[in-house]
Amino acid sequence: MEFLRDRGALFWNILFPVVLVVGFAFVFSNGDDSLFTVGLLGDGDAPESLRELAGIEFVRYSNSDDAQLEAVTTRLRQHQLDMVIDLDRAEYYLNSEAPGAEMLRRLLHSAHDPSLSEVGAVDAAGVPGAAGFQERRITGAAIRYVDWVVPGVIGMNMMFSCLFGVGYVIVRYRKNGVLKRLKATPVSAFVFVSAQGASRLVIVLVTSVFVFAGTNAVFRFTMNGSYGTLLLLTVVAIICMIGIGLLLAGRLKNEELADGLINLVTFPMIILSGVFFSLEGSPEVLQRASLALPLTHYVSGARAVMLEGAGLGEVLPHTLALAVMAVVFWLCAAAIFRWE
Amino acid sequence: MSAIIEVRELRKRYKDVSAVDGVSFGVPEGVCFGLLGPNGAGKTTTIEIMEGLLDPTAGEVLFRGRPIDRRFKEKVGIQFQHTALPEFITVNETLKLFSAFYPHPRPLNDVVDICALEEIIDRDNRKLSGGQRQRLLLALAIIPQPQLVFLDEPTTGLDPQARRNFWSLIERVRSEGTTVMLTTHYMDEAQLLCDQVAIMDHGRILEIDSPQTLLERHFEGVVVRLPNADAGVLHNGARLPAATKRNNGALELTTTQLDDTFRSLLDLGVNLDGFSIHKPNLEDLFIKLTGSTLRV
């Protein structure tokens, strides 16, 4: 009830993510063609022909095993990379549906074999290319940035709603004496906390579905997976985030402190969980650290479902990670909770 | 009469202050019991220990002769001194919410009727006036159909009408057989409502009895106040009562024999313009016992 009657908060909860999604859709709707991003697998230097070019950015992937190759070519398929060069296998991959593919091919070959620089001279896979590299072609429609960012925005909104909606509210109740009044009734702390958690779960889930459905009606997001899997992942993530909110609210009596702590927890997640930009290419330490954050698991999981059509089995690690964190947060929260 | 609730040698110590320092008393069933004391005397601490909200450092609380247990909270109603009501919900929703907490709640129509909440039933909790708020808080306290109701300074901050209004509500609750335990620093309130009072200061009980008995024990007679009397009568007033003193330029005589005193005053031709007779009340007793100097 409080959620619906507090118009300001309601507005914020629904409008904020919508504005973000719409904003990103426009900001990134074009303009990413001017710069090519080339993935490099394995050891060694990039081919000479591309190395000196100003418009090309290289992303290095240290190992070149099959799983890594699969992941990288998926990114190529979704137009997040414009070219993949596997240095160990002496192969390069292009996406035939990408507007920059031919351009890149010509650039790669230009220094070595001018005869191959003409558009359309080679189109089958396996034709010998520059410096003895084999060319391989894959296809896949572009994933717009908006498709990529929507799980991040919804995840972030869920996180805010859970942490502030549960954490901040309980601290306020403690400060103004509502909790003390409840303590004087036969209601147990367990029942109270569960009720808070349950009502917040419903609210956040409904808001998220609402925001998703609303923006989807306009942007028609890529959805390659099942809605059921996405929903399951979302529910587990919400329960996990509510756990964080409860944990933070366990003893605090001061709203300002609660506010600061919640920000302290949310900001690293916004930056490190890949909400707005991918962590790929960032130091490995950072990528590992980000796995400790629940938002990372949700955002990666949701992206896998939506963009790659991952099934329940494939996002199981993310779901389990979230579930384990949820259990830990809830148990700790239960252990430290005090009415006053 | 057996005590519905009893405290024995209750002590509560915070770091370096003793808020409650060895308090023992019993509240007989069906009475209105008042715990009086200046601010900081330890009233709220005492009552919160009795409510089971605070753990005492030492001593025990017995409800019907037994230590308080889990089900104690179902049998008592509580109104705090400072409580926020849940925000964003209406009076009606608040009542429903609290009804859901108890196994045998009183029908809400009843509660609304007793506490006169009909007019404000759909109002947001945040938009209630002081008196309306206190009525709602009392309503929450009587929802469990309690055997005992704790009211912690229920009328502090209310205007005179609202206070009187609230007193009649307390009387009504009491008339249904509910024991009322009240803290207040308003002596008129205690004198009017309470069958028994305990006067508390510095964490200790100073006196405990019915207001009437206490007054009889500490005061004799009435005070006759003569604002316009000539101070000269004191010198030739052989037949006037001994206890006379000047206070703010007025002459005050404390007497048990009102007839004789007036006869003497008339005989002496004392100016009686603007005289008044004051019967010492709880407030006088309170000041006498707890002192009138400002506390730091």
- Average pLDDT (A6-35) is 63
Cβ neighbours for A227, distance < 8 A, ≥ 6 positions apart: none
ipTM above 0.85, yes or no: no
Q: Say whether residue A177 is in contact with chain B using an 8 A CB cutoff.
A: yes
Please give the pLDDT value at position B276: 86
With beta carbons under 8 A apart, name residues in chain A contacting B51.
Answer: 184
What type of residue sits at position B85?
L
- Average pLDDT (A274-293) is 80
Residues B87 and B108 in one domain: yes
Q: What is the CATH number of the domain that holds B248?
A: 3.30.70
Cβ B84–A177 below 8 Å, yes or no?
A: yes
Residues B224 and B137 in one domain: no
Please give the pLDDT value at position A324: 95
Instruction: Report how far residue B98's alpha carbon sits from residue B102's, in angstroms, rounded to the nearest whole number.
Output: 7
Residues B200 and B94 in one domain: yes
The model carries a pTM of 0.71
> Residue A83: is its pLDDT beyond 70?
yes
Distance from the B83 Cα atom to the nearest Cα atom in chain A, whole angstroms: 5
Helix (H) or strand (E) segment spanning residue B13: strand B3-14
Weakest mean pLDDT among A110-119, A128-137, B91-100, B125-134: A110-119
Instruction: Report how far residue A246's alpha carbon sits from residue A248's, in angstroms, rounded to the nearest whole number.
Output: 5
Cβ B78–A5 below 8 Å, yes or no?
A: no
A315 C-beta neighbours (distance < 10 Å), count: 25
With beta carbons under 8 A apart, name residues in chain B contacting A186.
Answer: 70-71, 73-74, 101-103
**A176, A177, A186 ranked by CB distance to B102: nearest:** A186
The encoded tokens of residue A312 equal 């329940």
B59-114 pLDDT per residue, tens: 889 998 888 888 888 889 988 877 778 878 889 999 998 998 888 899 999 889 88
Q: Say whether residue A132 is in contact with chain B using an 8 A CB cutoff.
A: no
DSSP β-bridge partners for residue B182: B34, B151
Instruction: Report how far residue B163's alpha carbon sits from residue A98's, in angstroms, rounded to the nearest whole number.
Output: 80
What type of residue sits at position A256?
E
**B51, B71, B80 ranked by CB distance to A177: nearest:** B80
Helix (H) or strand (E) segment spanning residue A322: helix A316-336
Residues B161 and B224 in one domain: no
Query: Which residue in the block uniquely carries the two structure tokens 């029942």?
Result: A191
Reported as a pLDDT band with limits 50, 70 and 90, residue A287 is confident
3 state DSSP class of B29: coil
Instruction: Report how far residue B139's alpha carbon sits from residue B272's, in angstroms, rounded to the nearest whole number.
Output: 50
**A1, A181, A183 ranked by CB distance to B93: nearest:** A1
**Cβ pair A50, A107 in contact under 8 A:** yes
Weakest mean pLDDT among A55-59, A82-86, A268-272: A55-59
A185-204 pLDDT per residue, tens: 888 888 888 888 899 999 99
Interface test with A, best of B71, B87, B90, B137 (most A CBs within 10 A): B87
Please give the pLDDT value at position B231: 64
Distance from the A3 Cα atom to the nearest Cα atom in chain B, whole angstroms: 8
Strands (DSSP E) found in A46-156: 56-61, 83-86, 91-95, 134-138
With beta carbons under 8 A apart, name residues in chain B contacting A187.
Answer: 101
Please give the pLDDT value at position B25: 92
Instruction: Report how far residue A123's alpha carbon sits from residue A132's, in angstroms, rounded to the nearest whole number.
Output: 17
Q: What is the CA radius of gyration of chain A?
A: 24
Cβ B103–A186 below 8 Å, yes or no?
A: yes
Residues B31 and B115 in one domain: yes
Residues B168 and B40 in one domain: yes
Helix (H) or strand (E) segment spanning residue A199: helix A189-219
Please give the pLDDT value at position A28: 59
Residues B104 and B224 in one domain: no
Question: Minimal Cα distance from B74: which residue of A?
Answer: A186
Cβ A186–B87 below 8 Å, yes or no?
A: no
Label residues A13-27 b or e (16+ Cβ within 10 Å = b): bbebbbebbeebbee
Query: Which residue in the block uniquely carries the two structure tokens 């407030």?
Result: B283
The encoded tokens of residue A50 equal 């591309």
Residues B161 and B32 in one domain: yes
Please give the pLDDT value at position A116: 44
- Ranges of residues in chain B with a pLDDT under 50 are 294, 296
Where exactly are the structural domains of chain A? 2-24+144-336, 36-138
Kindly state whether residue B285 falls inside one of the protein's structural domains: no
Residues B62 and B114 in one domain: yes
Instruction: Report how far residue B242's alpha carbon sits from residue A238's, in angstroms, rounded to the nearest whole number.
Output: 82
Residue where one domain finishes, among candidates B192, B210, B228: B210
Please give the pLDDT value at position B195: 92
Instruction: Report how far residue B127's alpha carbon sits from residue B120's, in angstroms, rounded to the nearest whole number.
Output: 10
Q: How far is CA A151 from the centre of its chain?
A: 6
Interface test with B, best of A3, A6, A10, A185 (most B CBs within 10 A): A185
> Residue A272: is its pLDDT beyond 80?
yes
Cβ B98–A185 below 8 Å, yes or no?
A: yes
Give the residue numbers spanning the domain of B248: 220-279
Cβ B102–A184 below 8 Å, yes or no?
A: no
Cβ neighbours for A332, distance < 8 A, ≥ 6 positions apart: A247, A250
Please give the pLDDT value at position A123: 41
What type of residue sits at position A176?
N
Weakest mean pLDDT among A75-84, A255-264, A300-309: A75-84
Q: In what order do the strands lie in the sheet with B66-67?
A: B17-28, B3-14, B58-63, B66-67
Please give the pLDDT value at position A271: 80
What type of residue sits at position A111?
A
